[in-house]
């Protein structure tokens, strides 16, 4: 079999190895170019596709090649501008053979989608009203309201950033919903950066770039969610940059979100990065106890079931990761109580949420403890394992043993091993010593208490 034949066999099988969608969007355009000195060269029509495929699918593709043809040791994807008009593979014989085998040879994706509305669905629950404001998000909230309510452009773009599940998408939707209701003549377009990219790639494929651009450039407010997604993707970034500039020139509002600030986003071209930071950059901070409490209370009000205050406090206290998880936890205990027809109690809450609660617990390791204690008492971490008996060294070591016993689930022999292979009785002795000191000496106790809190943070 020639390498070309191998490819004709291999390519249709990619539909099975990946999803239909991945195949249709990316892999379908791969063509065999040549095989030389153990290296297979495939090609795609754009640089973007090359990068995308190389980053995500190359290893697996190589493995598949090697299975089919053991002489292959590497694989490279080249860019080869397609000379034939529209990139449609139905004219190639290899693909005809494959089409007769595939169940659905004409996927909907290949239809031009000029007429389809470019906008993503807005979630009607994500309003300003349902957004609970607290210290971590008050600035973002105020900026979002300002943008939603005024025709004057105060800052362009508005760039909201923060970790996952902290309310960026919620605020974006709130702005869009507000404008639709109160300023219906303003044209708003909301989409994720991923959708932006998909549409862009599709437009490239259908040679439909002009209408793609028109769609974007005729709006009054453009919102792109999660722009970190376009970093590293050169041609999408380039297109995004031009769209951005065109809208800024026309004095149209742009609103963006990302998981990091423009300066921290990796893989962005410098000019794109600096442009993103031109307007107002606001971050949404991690939640505080008060905000979590407020959110839980406001969600609980909308439910038909009674949730005891101490359960709400317990959740606000324990689930600190993000708001999405907090909501998920609440929904779960409500669903459980409804299903089994019982009241919500602290016990049932703890049982139902065991896995989430565990994941939210900070895991403290013996190494963490040794490091912090050594820092605190200004001794070397190596002294935690050493045999030096000097009080200035031995005492911190005992403190670290005590904290290891108290804050981790390690057994005494395990702790002993981490302290230079000491016997478990030595550990027990050290723990006892510190317990005594804590009960006798309040200044000492305070010191230990402080260390404990540092470690728990």
The site for Mg ion (CB under 5 A) is made up of 168-169
Distance CA 163, CA 236 (A): 23
Distance CA 344, CA 188 (A): 42
**Contact of residue 126 among ligand ADP, Mg ion, none (CB under 5-8 Å per partner type):** ligand ADP
Verify binding: residue 156, ligand ADP, rule CB under 6 A.
no
Verify binding: residue 168, ligand ADP, rule CB under 6 A.
yes
Q: Which residue is nearest to ligand ADP (CB)?
A: 167
Radius of gyration of the chain, Cα coordinates, nearest whole angstrom:
29
Verify binding: residue 137, ligand ADP, rule CB under 6 A.
yes
Distance CA 224, CA 254 (A): 8
Residue (189 or 364) nearer to ligand ADP, CB = 189
CB 256 within 8 A of CB 278: no
Neighbours of 20 (CB within 10 A): 14
- Which listed range, 94-102, 108-116, 158-166, 335-343, lies at the site for ligand ADP (CB under 6 A)? 158-166
Verify binding: residue 327, ligand ADP, rule CB under 6 A.
yes
Verify binding: residue 126, ligand ADP, rule CB under 6 A.
yes
Minimal distance, residue 396 CB to ligand ADP, in Å: 42
- Which listed range, 37-45, 104-112, 163-171, 364-372, lies at the site for ligand ADP (CB under 6 A)? 163-171
Q: What is the DSSP string of 368-381?
A: HHHHHHHHHHT--G
Residue 420, Cβ density class (10 Å: 0-12 exposed, 13-18 middle, ≥19 buried): middle
Minimal distance, residue 360 CB to ligand ADP, in Å: 16
Verify binding: residue 169, ligand ADP, rule CB under 6 A.
yes
Strand arrangement, sheet containing 39-44? 31-36, 39-44, 74-79
Verify binding: residue 166, ligand ADP, rule CB under 6 A.
yes
Strand partners, 188: 221
One residue of 97, 164, 335, 340 binding ligand ADP per CB under 6 A: 164
What are the E-state strand segments in 237-364? Answer: 253-258, 280-283
- Which listed range, 21-29, 65-73, 124-132, 395-403, lies at the site for ligand ADP (CB under 6 A)? 124-132
Which residues are near ligand ADP by CB under 6 A? 126, 130-132, 137, 162, 164-170, 295, 323-324, 327
């Amino acid at each position: 079999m020639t390498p070309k034949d191998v490819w004709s066999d291999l390519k249709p099988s990619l539909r099975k190895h990946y999803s239909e969608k991945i195949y249709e969007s990316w892999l379908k355009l791969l063509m065999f170019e040549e095989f030389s000195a153990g290296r297979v060269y495939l090609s795609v029509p754009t640089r973007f596709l090359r990068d995308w495929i190389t980053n995500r699918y190359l290893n697996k593709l190589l493995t598949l090649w090697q299975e089919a043809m053991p002489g292959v040791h590497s694989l490279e994807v080249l860019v080869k501008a397609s000379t034939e008009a529209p990139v449609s593979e139905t004219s190639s014989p290899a693909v005809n053979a494959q089409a007769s085998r595939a169940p659905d040879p004409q996927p909907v994706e290949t239809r031009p989608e000029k007429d389809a509305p470019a906008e993503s669905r807005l979630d009607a629950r994500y309003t300003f009203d349902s957004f609970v404001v607290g210290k971590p998000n008050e600035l973002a909230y105020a900026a979002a309201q300002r943008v939603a309510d005024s025709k004057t452009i105060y800052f362009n773009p508005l760039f909201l950033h923060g970790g996952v599940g902290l309310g960026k998408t919620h605020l974006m939707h709130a702005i869009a919903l507000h404008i639709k209701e109160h300023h219906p003549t303003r044209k708003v377009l909301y989409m994720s950066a991923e959708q932006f990219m998909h549409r862009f790639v599709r437009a490239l494929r259908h040679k439909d770039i002009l209408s793609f651009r028109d769609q974007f450039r005729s709006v009054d407010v453009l919102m792109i969610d999660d722009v970190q997604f376009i970093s590293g993707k050169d041609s999408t970034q380039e297109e995004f940059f031009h769209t951005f500039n065109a809208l800024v020139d026309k004095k149209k509002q742009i609103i963006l979100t990302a998981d990091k600030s423009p300066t921290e986003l990796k893989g962005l071209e410098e000019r794109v990065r600096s442009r993103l930071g031109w307007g107002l950059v606001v971050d949404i901070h991690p939640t505080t106890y008060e905000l979590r409490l407020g959110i839980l209370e406001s969600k609980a009000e909308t439910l038909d079931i009674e949730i005891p205050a101490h359960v709400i406090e317990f959740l606000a206290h324990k689930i600190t990761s993000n708001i999405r998880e907090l909501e998920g936890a609440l929904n779960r205990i409500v669903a459980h109580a409804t299903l089994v027809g019982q009241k919500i109690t602290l016990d049932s809450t703890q049982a139902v949420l065991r896995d989430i609660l565990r994941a939210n617990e900070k895991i403290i390791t013996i190494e963490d403890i040794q490091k912090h204690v050594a820092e605190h008492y200004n001794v070397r971490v190596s002294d935690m394992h050493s045999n030096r008996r000097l009080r200035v060294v031995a005492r911190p070591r005992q403190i670290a043993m005590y904290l290891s016993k108290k804050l981790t689930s390690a057994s005494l022999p395990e702790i002993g091993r981490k302290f230079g292979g000491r016997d478990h009785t030595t550990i027990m002795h050290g723990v006892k010593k510190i317990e005594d000191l804590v009960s006798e000496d309040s200044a000492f106790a305070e010191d230990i208490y402080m260390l404990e809190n540092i470690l728990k943070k």
